[in-house]
Structure formats: C-alpha cells, structure tokens
Amino acid sequence: MLKKICITELIIGNYHITKCDDKWNLTKECNDRASQTADIKKEIIQKTREYMENKNGSVKIHNENGGFQEERTYHRKDDPRKSKG
C-alpha cells in the first residue's frame, strides 16, 4: 500500500487544530488520525506546545465553526539562532 505524501510534509510539518464532534484535534496535513486530542480548546493548545517542542512546524488554529483563527510557528530547541556567537 502506498502512503499519500504531501510536498509540504517533506519541508515543514503543517498542522491544524480543529473541533470534531465534542473533541479538539491536532492533525498533521495529509493525515487522517489526530496527533493529539483534548476536550477543550485551551487544553489542545497546551498539548500542541508540548508536542511541537522538538519539531519545526506551522499550526493553524481554527474556531468552532472551522474558520481560520490564527497561525503559530514552532521551532526545535536546538534552533541555530539560539546558539551563542
């Protein structure tokens, strides 16, 4: 079975926070399963911060109706811009 690959998946992880039924989900683009789930939006945002701690990626946060609310960008801990010198 072949896996569906998005070109953006090779460069940077693009994720979306959306509400589905009674849960909030963090889902990577081109994936069907959620990477993280939570009961409330505040909780999924906190889980997203922790999940993205060692990843590069863009997270698009949607409101309950599915409309775009905001975008956040995450970097790895060892980002060279944080190094001394």
The per-residue pLDDT for 70 is 96
Asked if residue 14 belongs to a domain, the reply is: yes
Phi and psi (nearest 5°) for 64? -60, -30
What gap in Å lies between CA 25 and CA 20, rounded to an integer?
Answer: 7
Q: At residue 76, what is the residue type?
A: R
13-20 sheet: strands from edge to edge: 36-38, 23-28, 13-20, 57-62, 68-74
To the nearest whole percent, how much of the chain has pLDDT over 90? 64
Domain tally, the chain: 1
pLDDT at 61 over 70: yes
Asked if residue 24 belongs to a domain, the reply is: yes
pLDDT digits (tens, 9 = 90+) for 15-43: 999 999 999 999 999 899 999 999 999 99
Asked if residue 80 belongs to a domain, the reply is: no
Residue 54 banded pLDDT, cuts 50, 70, 90: confident
Asked if residue 54 belongs to a domain, the reply is: yes
Strand partners, 60: 16, 71
Structural domain boundaries enclosing 50: 8-67
> What integer is the mean pLDDT of 39-49?
98
Residues 22 and 68: beta-carbon distance below 8 Å: no
